[in-house]
């Protein structure tokens, strides 16, 4: 993926995939552990929706550090409705093609908007794997989205760029014949 590729269509597809995952979550699932050791499924869902709002805020011209990548638990309305609201906001915030060339202040620094889209695509696809895994792995994730996200991860999350405190752990070993989702998970520090 080049720095200026428009990954907004893939990001929208990743949101479609995430909406399907959210629709399968039941109240009994919310305290399940996830591959993100610091999050239960409930906390991860709140983080993912909050991350989409943060990405929208960046697209609106804000700095990532100004907002927390989490929302209050939407137990009254549910996560699908919270996701719908976040999706409408992020879609509007990044609708203008000029946003891809404008500087965006992401958690990892100031980058062209197109690079912010790629980074948030990688995060959304990775967290979709986390959610699917927490739910028992019976959800068929999109291979093309995972390939795109893995390409971004390999380009920007090189082992030497990782520092303590970043949201992705050290690269984990994986079998040569592992599927693309397992490879993405391993590259972002997760164990399958």
- Segment 132-141, tens digit of pLDDT: 999 997 899 9
What pLDDT score does 68 carry?
A: 92
What pLDDT score does 164 carry?
A: 57
Task: Indicate whether 1 pLDDT > 50.
Answer: no
More confident residue, 169 or 87: 87
What pLDDT score does 3 carry?
A: 43
**61 backbone φψ class: left, alpha, beta (φ>0; ψ -120 to 50):** left
- Segment 46-94, tens digit of pLDDT: 999 999 999 999 999 999 999 999 998 887 788 899 999 999 999 999 9
Neighbouring residues of 192: CB distance < 8 A, sequence distance ≥ 6: 133, 174, 178, 182, 185, 186
Q: What is the CA radius of gyration of the chain?
A: 16
Tallying the residues shown for the chain, one arrives at 192
Residue 40: strand pairing partners: 33
Q: CA angle at residue 23 from 180 to 43, to 5 degrees?
A: 75
Question: Please, how many CA atoms are within 13 Å of residue 71, restricted to the half-sphere of its CB?
Answer: 21
**175 backbone φψ class: left, alpha, beta (φ>0; ψ -120 to 50):** beta
What pLDDT score does 163 carry?
A: 61
Task: Indicate whether 187 pLDDT > 80.
Answer: yes
Task: Indicate whether 13 pLDDT > 90.
Answer: yes
3-state secondary structure at position 63: strand
Mean pLDDT (whole number) for 14-35: 95
Can you tell me the distance from the alpha carbon of 164 to that of 136, in angstroms, rounded to the nearest whole number? 29
**CB-CB contact of 51 with 123 (8 Å):** yes
Mean pLDDT (whole number) for 154-165: 73
User: Can you tell me which residue has the tokens 């520092």?
Assistant: 163
**CB-CB contact of 149 with 168 (8 Å):** no
What pLDDT score does 2 carry?
A: 42
User: Can you tell me which residue has the tokens 């380009």?
Assistant: 155
What are the structural domains, with CATH classification, of the chain? 8-187 (1.20.120.450)
- Segment 94-146, tens digit of pLDDT: 999 999 999 999 988 899 999 999 999 999 999 999 999 999 978 999 999 99
């Amino acid at each position: 993926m080049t720095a200026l590729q428009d990954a907004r269509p893939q990001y929208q597809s990743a949101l479609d995939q995430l909406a399907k995952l959210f629709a399968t979550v039941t109240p009994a699932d919310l305290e399940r552990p996830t591959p993100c050791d610091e999050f239960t499924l409930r906390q991860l869902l709140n983080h993912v929706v909050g991350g989409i709002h943060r990405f929208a805020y960046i697209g609106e011209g804000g700095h990532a550090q100004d907002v927390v990548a989490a929302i209050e638990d939407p137990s009254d309305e549910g996560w699908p409705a919270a996701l719908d609201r976040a999706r409408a906001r992020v879609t509007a915030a990044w609708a203008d093609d000029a946003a891809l060339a404008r500087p965006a202040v992401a958690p990892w620094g100031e980058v062209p908007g197109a690079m912010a889209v790629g980074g948030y695509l990688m995060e959304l696809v990775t967290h979709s794997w986390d959610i699917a895994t927490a739910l028992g792995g019976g959800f068929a994730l999109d291979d093309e989205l995972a390939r795109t996200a893995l390409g971004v991860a390999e380009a920007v999350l090189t082992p030497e760029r990782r520092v303590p405190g970043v949201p992705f752990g050290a690269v984990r070993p994986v079998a040569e014949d592992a599927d693309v989702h397992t490879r993405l998970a391993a590259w972002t520090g997760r164990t399958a």
